[in-house]
Chain A
């Protein structure tokens, strides 16, 4: 039998596969019978028991291995690419975020649908394209892995996770119940907000018996109450600082990010402070703690916060007297009087100088008061402003958005009702009242008394733990919203990304409770249509595009004073003078929102936690500020825990000796000591210690901002404070050197001396253009006359400097500007500097930067912007304490002058991109190399980490990854997938063992260059913006091509105020600093610079 032919058709050609087939051997026959000829489907012969078991075991194992697969991953290709979307190309959306009632207008950079880098909204008149610290860090908040991803049922302080379905079911049931009123009385507690939509919806909910209470631990209540007292209307005061020639700030820190309109105010303030345009305001600060505004002040007086009212009372009388034509007891006379005394006192001269300036600058002066000052101070300031003609000129009043009762009172009432069992349902949206309510209200305990507490929040925080049900809240980048900005512009938020986790927003909750559709966009449009009268698709599209509705800017309110000034109580005019000298006695403690973590809402934001406080440079902590003399008197020592007790409650906080703090005044920041913030800010349940000290126990309703009669004593327990500057206490020898060196590093001159210099300079051949290098010389030149006559000493000083440098040529760069004279002139002359190596020539672009110290307010927005842009890691407190912080851009801070009345200087410090870079020549593997455009490029993948470059960098701007910081489980959490989303895809993420540093945002330079190339056009002179430049509210940082005349950076490099830092080292930095100009009052200046005996 030939099996091969068995089934084959009998006709035609015969086909065969192999010779064995042809032969038809029995083996082949056998082979064919098997279904799978080459496999082992048959029971094997001659298999031993052992072999059998082996085979079976292996088969079983292999069968089990079917379960081992690569992780399932869904890749959704853009089979059809959405319109206007090019993968990898960023898109920009205008939006606004609201922090406790303050609008922050933004333009968000989104990569492939994920928001990465917030910038300011350039169209918005409260941003000008700039941002603040908090906005810059907001992207990190969005991707915080500790955010609540689902609902939680809270039982006795333990949160049990619910699944999504169950969460939604419970939420719906609850919302329906409160709408129908079956659930009894309901109170909704939110943060203070200026959202018209929220107000509208809550107004509607009031119809179904739902009450709305607003509470924030930081608010403008005092101002509202004070102005109601003065004007009888709900108003807020908004200064127009660009219009003011004289500004008096009473405990008001408008440069700190916690100011609700900080960007606008800084911008305005600097606009009125342009010495090149011969326009220079004068800023006086009276404050207890050293504020950032105080750093920038021309004169600063440190007195206790509780004495500021008294100071203002006296000032008011003085200005009144001057205004009514009373004989001016001029500041000069007071100064002469004091100088004749054995122990002359600066305070009376200060007051006389302020009074003199305020009285002289009718309609050109403004008095601004901080939110921590009691209402009566705000009321009296309003009267003083009226007296000096501020309203309408340098100040506008606006009706307060969403009028509300005073937060603390509202909360106290609510707590009483909760305790009385009158509230069946409490809904707490956002905020964290269980953490930050006044301690005497004990709101957390009161919450437990409510029938049912539903918490809507982004984190399972302290408030969630005393609730019954926690529902996740959406981030502002995930939903629609609206807010009225401080200067009265209706701005909207729009979602940048689909919610990462599901949840509700405040208005989403309100709409659902009302049973309305929950499309948040429709709610916002409804507001636009209804209340604001912006109907129509075009108007709406324009609003979405711009991020705000320009049509909605309200006219300022007109307000007239009622009654007379009452100078009693805290306003008694003369009490402050003697009191302010006392070191002990009635010690006061003031609270202020943390300059980094605000009221604690950013406690889980690593960038902000690690961000140094701009004045003390402390990271990861709030410390008790005390001035050196008071510390000695109270026997407090730096870095030791002190016990502070206020009305029977106490806290323990580490002491930080801060020059410039007022005598007898202590200050501590809010927002620390969170016990349920997350892995960064502290989570006691997970065994993560809180960061810093919770000040709530001593922050009571009656000591809300200022506590008096505080007792404080050192416990002697040492405490580790991590600072990014002066990491260790500096010895006297070092301090002396710093005092000698600082004036060379951060150069300063007086406005009078500068004017004198300019007058001389304008006759010079290089003259006028260079002198007017300032890039916003928009101010009319006829407004040049200084408010007051310059004293002879200042002029003499200017002349002396002038002659000392006659004919001396300072640094001449290769960009053809030739020699020019410098202000302030620097002592010390050195021979021509030559280079060991062949110098670079720059044919095309030569990138450079100019940092105008006169414009820089030290607000630190640039530094966080840099961190966000360049994927700069955070390292944690221990590593900061080891001097290993990674910030590429830091703000150096130096104290100067009289230790009793120090001034503080600041200087943004980043890679200076030296032309003769000391780092480049010492790198053995050429990992840091010079580009043809003059950048010091870092080739991360070539760096092996010898760190020689870091040693050889005179500016110490290089940062080394001593450890794999991104691998730190606490700082980055195990859910790297989420935290990685915040990384800028255009910047390499550095690994351990690699040096990194600023590269002038080389990725931005390349992007713009590529764009220009594809569009076949030349690069614009000022087209490229670095991240720090873009964030800067005052345009203090200017980047550009030094080879082009039109570039602002090149123009600024030729300013007489421009100087290169450490230029004597011949590093030829590509960055120039422009000297800071101060505008001191002549009599005070003379007094402060008198020869000490």
Chain B
């Protein structure tokens, strides 16, 4: 089989076949072992890096909490927001995190519906990331309002104080619905998908608390056919529900800007441009997290170079869309002959925030273009750096849109300049702390790879391997991704 492996790993392999989704010919048992091992390590033997990183992240998250306390006690004036720039970093961070949260559901729902099997090794990961990103995202608009103790007035509650419904014409209200729907559906989707794996952990549990913990979470899953049937159906339904949400959330977030009449915000290109940007940044974040995680936890055979390359291709595609949108904004500003809009865009590039604009362009437009080259697409350190660039660039994109447009609008007498305060910086860093803390807890205690799903692709792969080895009658199997037929154990190949 060693020869077969070599051949599969070789780029010059028969083009009719695809590279396997799982490498190293693991068995079902070994997959279960590999994944469960991460969550099953005794507390005392927890990976040192994990502990260090967790302490670091948790202290940042604590700082985030403390800063929120400071904000509540003192007022929104602790940020750098001012009179033309009523929205500053908190909204930038909000849009940034919501964007990050797009990849998970896209990978799990849309790719699932399109039967993109390669999603299975990364979907759990990406979904978790989505949930945590949405947590970070939702924090910001919540604490952003001036009278935070009344933030519940945004919800359509039959409240004594308001004695009325919220104002449904306001995009901010649409935002509340969009983000909360997205957050809850993503959470259910993530959790649902995890139930079989949680049951595996429960069954393997050696200590009482683990049995209880995973037992409660796995909701009495027993792996019966009846369970599986319902699971599959529900999963498909949820995927169908979540898929349009991927598009709707950032569309609606973009309405916060597009519905206003501010030059630089008031553009119809925003919905598709925001969605593309969100997927772009979300994939970049998945990469940023997956690359070190697969190293540390030895998941290279599950999250393979093929996965990484596919993700890079998505980044390349969405990055190009974003670049196109930037160019189109300029074209429309010129073509519409609206002097305010023309100024708003030229001001982005050549005004006082030119540095932010060009940082954005460099990171978002130029750096993903490097993925046209296969050697870059498959070079782990380079792609890691590029994904970080994309993350930075996408944060700057939101900064440029939000702050630059606000800082110079119609009346030059009101023009201003925004400078962040230490609290702004602290909260941005703190939100990363919160995100990483949650993510590390997930890595440590929950199944990081969808074991049940990946085993299905292994079935599939079995046939590909046969095909590569000359089993011609299996050549068409690829067109039947739902094929769950029993395949011979891989040992047979030796």
Interfacial residues, chain A to chain B (CB-CB below 8 A): 725-728, 730-731, 733-734, 737-738, 740-742, 745, 837, 879, 882-885, 890, 892-894, 907, 909, 918, 921-926, 942-948, 950-952, 954-956, 959-964, 991-995, 1062, 1065
Contact = CB atoms under 8 A, between A and B. Distances in A.
B352 A734 contact: yes
A945 B83 contact: no
22 contacts: A725-B413, A734-B347, A741-B412, A883-B417, A890-B413, A909-B413, A918-B261, A923-B167, A924-B170, A944-B151, A945-B146, A945-B147, A947-B87, A948-B171, A951-B260, A952-B260, A954-B262, A956-B84, A956-B410, A964-B75, A992-B75, A993-B76
Interface in B137-155: 144-148, 150-151, 153-154
Contacts of A962: 75-77, 81-82, 146
B406 interface: yes
Contacts of A994: 146-147
Contacts of A733: 346-347, 350-351
B415 interface: yes
Leading 4 A-B pairs by shortest Cβ distance: A945-B146, A993-B146, A962-B77, A892-B413
Given A737-B343, A944-B146, A952-B260, A921 B169 contact: yes
B154 A944 contact: yes
A943 B147 contact: yes
Contacts of B84: 883, 956
Nearest to A948: B172
A726 B352 CA distance: 13
Interface in B441-486: none
A926 B147 contact: no
Contact of B162 (A923, A942, A956): A942
B244 to A, nearest CB: 23
A964 B74 CA distance: 8
Contacts of B46: none
B72 to A, nearest CB: 10
Given A733-B346, A925-B167, A879 B146 contact: no
Given A926-B166, A959-B83, A992-B75, 18 more contacts: A725-B414, A731-B351, A733-B350, A737-B343, A837-B169, A883-B82, A907-B413, A909-B413, A944-B145, A946-B145, A946-B172, A948-B86, A954-B261, A956-B414, A961-B146, A962-B77, A993-B145, A993-B148
B323 interface: no
A950 B407 CA distance: 12
A952 B153 CA distance: 21
B147 A893 contact: no
A993 B351 contact: no
B270 to A, nearest CB: 15
Nearest to A836: B169
A952 B261 contact: yes
B104 interface: no
Interface string B52-90: 000000000000000000000011110011111111000
Interface in B7-66: none
Nearest to B81: A962
Indicate the member of A883, A893, A907 with the most B CB atoms within 10 Å: A883
Contact of B83 (A734, A741, A883, A921): A883
B86 A960 contact: yes
A994 to B, nearest CB: 6
B164 A924 contact: no
B238 interface: no
Given A734-B352, A944-B153, A954 B144 contact: no
B85 to A, nearest CB: 8
B411 A954 contact: yes
A944 B81 CA distance: 16
Contacts, number: 173
B351 to A, nearest CB: 6
A728 B76 CA distance: 22
B408 interface: yes
B167 A734 contact: no
A1079 B445 CA distance: 81
Contacts of B83: 883-885, 950, 956, 959-960
B408 A734 contact: yes
Contact of A882 (B82, B170, B351): B82
Contact of B150 (A738, A921, A944, A1065): A944
A731 B350 CA distance: 10
A660 B448 CA distance: 69
Indicate the member of B167, B171, B172, B350 with the most A CB atoms within 10 Å: B167
A497 to B, nearest CB: 34
Nearest to B164: A926
Contacts of A741: 339, 412
A395 to B, nearest CB: 37
Interface string B173-190: 100100000000000000
Interface string B395-429: 00000000000101111111111000000000000
B146 A956 contact: no
Contacts of B417: 727-728, 883
Given A894-B412, A945-B145, A925 B75 contact: no
Contacts of A964: 75
A734 B86 CA distance: 20
B259 interface: yes
Nearest to B405: A951
Nearest to A737: B343
Indicate the member of B260, B262, B408 with the most A CB atoms within 10 Å: B260
Indicate the member of B173, B256, B411 with the most A CB atoms within 10 Å: B411
Given A727-B417, A945-B146, A951-B260, A963 B82 contact: no
Contacts of B351: 731, 733-734
Given A884-B82, A956-B409, A1065 B261 contact: yes
Contact of B260 (A725, A890, A922, A942): A922
A994 B148 CA distance: 11
B167 A947 contact: no
A734 to B, nearest CB: 6
Contacts of A727: 415-417
B411 A956 contact: yes
A728 B416 contact: yes
Nearest to A906: B413
A926 B167 contact: yes
B452 to A, nearest CB: 42
A1062 B153 contact: no
A948 B170 contact: yes
Nearest to A947: B86
Nearest to A726: B415
Contacts of A734: 347, 351-352, 408, 412, 415
Contacts of B74: 963
B356 to A, nearest CB: 14
A827 to B, nearest CB: 11
B78 to A, nearest CB: 8
Given A726-B415, A951-B86, A882 B146 contact: no
Contacts of B166: 924-926
Given A946-B145, A951-B262, A745 B411 contact: yes
Contacts of A1065: 261, 410
B412 A924 contact: no
B38 to A, nearest CB: 42
A951 B406 contact: yes
Nearest to A963: B77
Nearest to B260: A952
Given A741-B412, A892-B411, A924 B150 contact: no
A616 to B, nearest CB: 13
Contacts of A907: 413
A1065 B84 CA distance: 18
Indicate the member of A923, A946, A992 with the most B CB atoms within 10 Å: A946
A226 to B, nearest CB: 40
Nearest to B148: A993
Nearest to A890: B413
Indicate the member of B81, B414, B417 with the most A CB atoms within 10 Å: B414
Given A943-B147, A995-B146, A894 B413 contact: yes
